[in-house]
A and B are shown apart, each in its own frame.
Chain A
Amino acid sequence: MIEVKNVSGGYHNAEILKDISFQVEKGELFGVIGPNGSGKTTLLKTVSRILDVKQGEITIKERPISDYTAKEFAQLVAVLPQNTAQTFSYTVKETVSLGRYAHQRGLFQTMSEKDEAMIQGVMKQTGVEGYQDVPIDSLSGGERQRVFLAQALAQDPEVLLLDEPTNHLDIAYQKELLDVLKIWTKEKDLTVISIFHDLNLAGLYCDRLLLLQDGKKEICDQANEVLKRERIQTVYGAEIEAHPHPKVAKTQMMLVPRFFGRQRNNIITKDLLKITEEKITLQTEAPLRTMSSGVTGAGVGWHNTFVNRHVDRNYHCTDHKNEMKNYLIDHGFHPNDTVGMMTAVRLSDVAHQFREGEGFSALIVVTAATGNAVDASMGQERTIPYKPGTINIWVLINGQLSEEAFIQSMMTATEAKTAAVKELGILDIETNTQATGTSTDSILIGASQQGKMLTYGGTATPLGQLVGKGVYQCMKKALENYFNWRNN
């Protein structure tokens, strides 16, 4: 549809674009990104014929853009600029009607019925038909943006060029506008080229992205390929972390603020652990990045309070999550900041260890009992409703963990747990085979994300060794305590 071949250009006294080439297919939503001053707007103005192409060629539908007359070009390409001058207060309808200019013929250029129908149609699509007789300067920024979008659509274009269309819009309007554009590209084969300031919006909605730097093409590819952490970090010169979107298979970029406060490598200490008959708690000064199963705060997040609560072995509640939440509130904890677990185990049987590695350290806390021991390999069908967890493992690390280190630490801790259970000869009562754990175990891996960078947590790594050994020893200690108590 649109082909830009080795284009250089800019303003008459400054060449901004340098040798840019890319193609946009029909029905594509194509994003242009880049730091301030990288030439995004200049590129859009060159494609829309406001600025001249100095070298190279731009063709739309295999015809050089300079070959089109002004009206022909406006029938093909519409533009939604960032700002539009509003000196006089035209009504919404008068403003939208101007979009039909390119389609009108004759000396007096009167509006045909087709024009009128088109105008009403686009006003409906953009949701501005309700105030067609209202002067545009009495509208809000978002409404005005939609009026000019309606004007562009009234041109009935095949290509729509947008310069930061989500500027000045709140997030609901941003989503609404981009959703609509996406639908039009799919249903009406409209080709859209849009400049984005917001990399995450660009990544979410665009099929492909063009990344500009200093007027040159850095890369033009699939959104996920363009939005790579290292690339964005280099081009924009800002510290960034990439993260997958929770619902869509797209990458999102997260800014990392410069100031973190004091860097500390001893956020987690043994002294923070408070053990009573009723609950084991640990509160840290700064929140820990956590990956956990449990009753509250499960999944991935940041938490500064960790609670392992004793409940009766016959504890039964239909809404245990809510009950736990209320429990936390009653005891002065914030459920949002808390990873909460439950156990029927006697809390005085807890085993814990503070282990130090080279440049990092970990506090391991285990409560264990084997009343409902299970052999995971048997895949036996069981009909147990929620029962308070039996083996609860906390591994809290002073150090920076990568995502894979979190997962590997979890694997290592689980393997160590299983080894301890097997060594003590615990059987799955239903299958009468060696148990691997219990049916309601929970685990928490937490890390301060300060201090030493720990990229891997596999069993052969220093972190893995520390976690494996620590969990194994605590498991054995906790189970011994449990057996001692049961046997007495």
Chain B
Amino acid sequence: MQKPSIRMFSKSNKVFPYIFLAVLAIFTVLLGTSIGTVYVPFSTIIHIITANIIPSVPADAIDSMYENIVWNIRLPRVLLSGLVGASLAISGAAFQGLLRNPLADPYTLGVSSGASVGAVITIFFGLTLPLLGPFTLPVFSILASFITIFIVLYFAQRIDRAMRVETIILTGVIFSSFLGALISLMIALTGDELRQIIGWLLGSVSMRGWDHIKIIIPFFLVGSILLTLHAKELNAMSFGEEQAKHLGVNVERKKMSILIAGSILTGAAVAVSGTIGFVGLVIPHFVRILWGPNHVHLLPLSAIAGGSFLILADLVSRMIIAPSELPIGVITALIGAPVFAVILIQRRKKLGGEKGS
């Protein structure tokens, strides 16, 4: 249970969390860009960014090596992790509200695995649809994640009409395993594309350039705006679908929109960076503890916090065994899995005598 005192203190000022997280986000972007084999001072980074965005700012004084490191290598990587983190966190928050399940996130629900299968199929068969071009991979990922979430929810409902938290998670785990096996099968059958698939699967934001940012940005914008517009419905649905219906929510339609938006965000994130687990679980959980469960604020705050979190996680994954890199998913799982366990224990305690629902 959340301590009322923590909430009280921060409730009085609803602007504070936004300012706090915005400052944190800017700081992490600068930090992520600054640290590496070559250290780049903050001031230089700011200069390079402004010079690249605003043509009137003179770029003469900038070292071309710095320029190359910051603008072509580190900044796109940092921004991409930010966007991926934001996508995963906001979709996690939405899935949790929709399913009334604090343990739901794209990873535990099996949606990430679904998106991976979509992506692997695209690579395996070397698919490129004429109209979609570079968007073929994300579009297939999104479609696959959308299909997966529906199959998972359908099965969970068949097992247990009340759709208990544990049932959904268990169904997600089973599907993840199954989809993981599919991926392994495809890898085993692959010849030349093997390295590409493995590299992608590890879940990384390294060696991604501006191209990847261009791929994820439209999906990120559509998905997160769509979710933010459904904040009130998510509030209503976290009291149960029947109660939401009583309150006047068109549950079927709104639920579909939210699932589509969540799948778009997850699919796009997986398409550019592979499966990165637990971001969608950990971030909304902490945002809720600090600033309450109201989705009007929870969704945007989770997005900003999730972005910052993944930038830091990426930084750690680069630093910890430098000069080689850890997959970023290792860092998020190291943090996320224990948090998952803690939430599970808290829920069990809270339910104690009550009926498990």
| Contacts from A to B (Cβ < 8 Å) | 45, 48-50, 69-71, 73-75, 77-79, 81, 83-91, 94-95, 98-99, 101-102, 104, 107-109, 133-135, 137-138, 151-152, 155
Q: Which of B176-184, B240-248, B323-331 contacts A (4 or more CB under 8 A)?
A: B240-248
Please tell me if the beta carbons of B246 and A74 are within 8 angstroms of each other in the complex: yes
Provide a sorted-by-A list of 23 A–B residue pairs whose CB atoms are within 8 angstroms.
Answer: A45-B242, A70-B245, A71-B248, A73-B248, A77-B246, A79-B243, A81-B242, A84-B240, A87-B100, A87-B101, A88-B238, A89-B1, A89-B292, A90-B235, A90-B238, A90-B293, A98-B235, A98-B236, A99-B247, A102-B247, A102-B248, A108-B229, A137-B1
Q: B128 in the interface, Cβ–Cβ < 8 Å?
A: no
Report yes or no: B245 in contact with A107, Cβ–Cβ below 8 A. no
Given known pairs A50-B242, A85-B100, the reply for A155 and B292 (CB within 8 Å) is no
Question: Once the chains bind, are B239 and A50 in contact (CB under 8 Å)?
Answer: no
The CA of A107 and the CA of B97, in the complex, are separated in Å by 20
Q: Mark B69-86, 1 if CB is under 8 A from A, else 0.
A: 000000000000000000
B247 partner residues in chain A, CB cutoff 8 A: 74, 98-99, 101-102, 151, 155
**When the two chains form their complex, are residues B229 and A81 in contact, meaning their CB atoms are under 8 A apart?**
no
Q: Determine if B8 and A138 form an interchain contact, defined as CB atoms under 8 angstroms apart.
A: no
Name the CB-closest residue of B to A90: B293
CB-nearest residue of chain B to A76: B248
B167 to chain A, nearest CB (A): 14
Closest to A72 in B: B248
| Chain A residues whose CB sits within 8 angstroms of the CB of B294 once the complex forms | 90, 94
Q: In whole Å, how far is B101's beta carbon from the nearest beta carbon of chain A?
A: 7
- Residues on B with C-beta less than 8 A from A91 are 7, 11, 292
Supposing A87-B238, A88-B102, A135-B7 touch, asked if A70 and B232 sit within 8 A by C-beta, the answer is no
Other A-B contacts than A70-B248, A89-B1, A109-B232, 14 sampled, CB-CB below 8 A, are: A48-B246, A50-B245, A74-B246, A85-B238, A86-B239, A87-B100, A87-B238, A90-B238, A95-B239, A98-B247, A101-B232, A101-B236, A101-B249, A135-B1
- B11 near A133 with CB under 8 A, answer yes
Of A48, A75, A88, which contacts B288 at CB under 8 A? A88
Q: Complex formed: what's the CA distance from A375 to B357 in Å?
A: 75
A151 — which chain B residues lie within 8 A by C-beta?
A: 247
The listed residue (A49, A79, A108, A138) touching B4 by CB distance below 8 A is: A138
Q: When A88-B102, A109-B232 are in contact, do A138 and B1 touch as well, CB less than 8 Å?
A: yes
**Complex partner residue of B249 from A70, A77, A85, CB under 8 angstroms:** A70
Chain A minimum-CB-distance residue to B288: A88
Q: Are B243 and A81 in contact (CB under 8 A)?
A: yes
B2 within 8 Å of A (CB atoms) = yes
Residue B190, interface by CB 8 Å? no
Judging by beta carbons under 8 Å apart, are B229 and A75 in contact?
A: no
User: Which of B102, B229, B250 contacts A70 (CB under 8 A)?
Assistant: B250
Interface residues on B, range: 20 to 34
Give Cα A98 to B246, complex, Å.
11
- Whether A90 contacts B236 by the Cβ 8 Å rule is no
Q: Write the nearest CB–CB distance from B91 to chain A, whole angstroms.
A: 17
Q: Is the CB of B236 within 8 A of A85?
A: no
| Interface contact tally, CB-CB below 8 A | 96
- Residue of B with least CB distance to A102: B248
Residues of A with C-beta under 8 A to B249: 70, 101
Shortest A130–chain B CB gap in Å is 14
- A104 CB contacts on chain B under 8 angstroms: 232
Contact of A94 with B292 at beta-carbon distance under 8 Å, contacts A70-B250, A85-B238, A102-B248 already known? yes
Contact with A along B230-262 (1 / 0, CB 8 A): 001001101110110111111100000000000
Task: Give 7 closest A-B pairs by Cβ, nearest first.
Answer: A74-B248, A102-B248, A88-B293, A85-B240, A79-B246, A87-B100, A70-B250
Q: Report the Cα distance A75→B247, complex, angstroms.
A: 8
* Candidates B238, B242, B248; contact of A155 at CB < 8 Å: B248
Question: How distant is B242 from chain A, measured CB to nearest CB, in Å?
Answer: 5
Q: Quick check: A84 and B248 within 8 Å, CB to CB?
A: no
Which residues of chain B are within 8 angstroms of A86 by Cβ–Cβ distance? 239
Assembled-state Cα–Cα distance A390/B193 (Å): 115
Bound together, the chains give a CA A88 to CA B99 distance in angstroms of 11
When A70-B249, A107-B229, A134-B4 are in contact, do A84 and B243 touch as well, CB less than 8 Å?
yes
Chain A, Cβ-Cβ closest to B233: A101
Asked if B4 contacts A135 (CB within 8 A), the reply is yes
Q: For A138, what are the chain B residues with a Cβ–Cβ distance below 8 Å?
A: 1, 4
Question: Chain B: which residue is nearest A94 at the CB level?
Answer: B294
* Complex-state Cα separation, A15 to B116, whole angstroms: 43
Q: In B204-241, which residues have CB < 8 Å from any A CB? A: 229, 232, 235-236, 238-240
A89 and B102 contact, CB distance less than 8 A: no
| Binary A-proximity of B1-31 (CB < 8 A = 1, otherwise 0) | 1101001100100000000000000000000
Please give, as numbers and ranges, the residues of chain A lying within 8 Å of B243 by CB-CB distance.
79, 81, 84-85
Residues of A with C-beta under 8 A to B357: 83, 85
- Smallest CB–CB gap between A153 and chain B, Å? 12
Q: How far is the CA of A138 from the CA of B240 in the complex (A)?
A: 19
| A108: B residues at CB distance < 8 A | 229
Nearest-neighbor residue (CB-CB) of B8 within chain A: A133
Contacts of B246 in A (CB 8 A): 48, 74, 77-79, 81, 152
- Check B245 against A94 for contact (C-beta < 8 Å): no
Q: B102: which A residues are within 8 A, CB to CB?
A: 87-88
Interface pair B235/A94, CB less than 8 Å apart: yes
Residue in chain A with minimal CB distance to B11: A133
- Residues in A with CB closer than 8 Å to B250 are 69-71
Measured in the bound complex, the distance between the Cα atoms of B293 and A108 in whole Å is 18
Give A99 to B246 CA distance when docked, in angstroms.
9
Whole-angstrom CA separation of A85 from B246 in the bound complex: 13
Chain B CB within 10 A, most for which of A70, A78, A87, A135: A87
Of chain A, the residue at the smallest CB distance from B12 is A133
Whether B239 pairs with A84 at a CB distance below 8 angstroms is yes
Q: How far apart are A136's CB and chain B's nearest CB, in angstroms?
A: 10
Known contacts A84-B239, A85-B357, A87-B102; decide if A75 and B232 are in contact (CB<8 Å). no
**Complex contacts, B236 vs chain A, CB 8 Å:** 98, 101
B63 vs chain A, min Cβ distance (A): 46
Q: In the complex, A81→B247 CA distance in Å?
A: 12
Q: Which residue of B lies closest to A135 (CB)?
A: B4
Question: A49 and B245 in contact (CB under 8 A), knowing A87-B238, A107-B229?
Answer: yes
Q: Which residues of A contact B288 (CB under 8 A)?
A: 88
A89 and B248 within 8 A (CB): no
* B292, A90: Cβ atoms closer than 8 Å: yes
Residues of B within 8 A of A135 (CB): 1-2, 4, 7
Contacts of A84 in B (CB 8 A): 239-240, 243
By a CB distance below 8 angstroms, the chain B residues around A137 are 1, 350
- The CA of A133 and the CA of B294, in the complex, are separated in Å by 13
- In angstroms, Cα B308 to Cα A29, docked, is 56
Measured between alpha carbons, how far is A90 from B101 in the docked complex, in Å? 14
- For B232, what are the chain A residues with a Cβ–Cβ distance below 8 Å? 98, 101, 104, 109
| B293 neighbours in A (Cβ, 8 Å) | 88-90
- Inter-chain contact B7/A98, CB cutoff 8 Å: no
A125 to chain B, nearest CB (A): 19
Inside 8 A of B4's CB, which chain A residues have their CB?
A: 134-135, 138
The A-contacting residues of B in range 291-319, CB under 8 angstroms, are: 292-294
Of chain A, the residue at the smallest CB distance from B99 is A87
Chain B residues, Cβ within 8 Å of A102: 247-248
Residue of A nearest to B295 (CB): A88
Contacts of A79 in B (CB 8 A): 243, 246
The CA-CA distance from A90 to B235 in the complex, in Å, is: 9
**A151 CA to B97 CA, complexed, in Å:** 19
A85/B248 contact (C-beta < 8 A), A90-B292, A90-B293, A94-B294 known: no
Contacts of B240 in A (CB 8 A): 81, 84-85
